[in-house]
Amino acid sequence: MELLVVKDRRIDYDGSAIQSHWAYRNFGILGNSLVVFRGKCDVKVEEMIDIEDLRQSKEIKSDDMVHYIIEVFDLVNTLFASTLQKLFIAKLCEVLAEYGVRTVRKGDDIYVNGKKLSISIATVSPVSVKMHIGMNVEAKGIPEGVEAIGLRELGITDVEGFMEKSGKALVEEFEKVKKDSLKVRWAQ
């Protein structure tokens, strides 16, 4: 899995990056990829993947987030997508623990002190698994009624360093899973 951490500019997330081959079209990364960037989040209704959010007319937005766009071509399956999503969320909780942040994972979301730190979605295209994870840098521009928290409020002020560290951790976790899947024989 190739990692790209975009530090030279901000990229706003509107939901369209969940389309297949986004990393290839925008950055020339062909194959399994993780692109980490920082920017606003404002998911347009036509880009919403979670049908429950769509049915409830939920807003998905934040003024400043770290975004992770993941694409995996090995197995195109919604169960695999959801499983990988939860593995990556658990890994991000481990990274946050290294910063002294105590987290609670509820499904595919990360909470700190009862406040929501992250959003995420996993789905499939005809050719790949696609995933978006967004983590608030600051809890500003959040939809009304959502109790949120951001990395800065947790004492993580080197956001670029966090982007690099967490991106590497997710890629290493994926590569370990892939390697472990190749070194076992069939049961008889």
For residue 185, is it within any domain?
no
Residue 55 has pLDDT above 70, yes or no: no
Q: CATH number for the domain including 90?
A: 3.30.930.10
- The H-or-E segment that residue 135 falls in is strand 129-136
pLDDT at 188: 84
What single-letter DSSP state applies at residue 54?
H
Average model confidence (pLDDT) across the chain: 94
Q: pLDDT of 118-143, one tens digit each? A: 999 999 999 999 999 999 999 999 98
pLDDT tens profile 91-102: 999 999 999 999
Please check whether residue 132 lies inside any domain of the structure: yes
Range of the structural domain that residue 70 is part of? 2-178
Provide the CA 159 distance to its chain's centre, in angstroms: 15
Q: First vs last Cα of the chain: how many Å apart?
A: 31
CA angle 134, 17, 144 (to 5 degrees): 40
Instruction: Please tell me which residue, 19 or 47, carries the higher pLDDT value.
Output: 19
- Rounded distance between C-alpha atoms, residue 56 and residue 186, angstroms: 45
Whose CA is closest to 92, among 124, 113, 68?
68
Specify the higher pLDDT residue, 45 or 92.
Answer: 92
Is the confidence at residue 19, as pLDDT, over 80? yes
In a domain, 99, yes or no: yes
Total count of domains within the chain? 1
Position 186 in a domain: no
* 146 inside domain: yes
3-state secondary structure of 39: strand
Tokens of residue 82, six digits: 């959801």
Whether 54 shows a pLDDT value over 90: the answer reads: no
The CA distance from 133 to 31, in Å, is: 19
**pTM value > 0.75:** yes
Inside any domain, residue 42: yes
Distance CA 158, CA 129 (A): 30
Rounded to 5 degrees, φ, ψ at 137 are -85, -45
Which residues, at least 6 apart from 67, have a Cβ–Cβ distance to it below 8 Å?
11, 13, 17, 36, 37, 38, 39, 41, 132, 133, 134
Q: Is the pLDDT of residue 57 over 70?
A: no
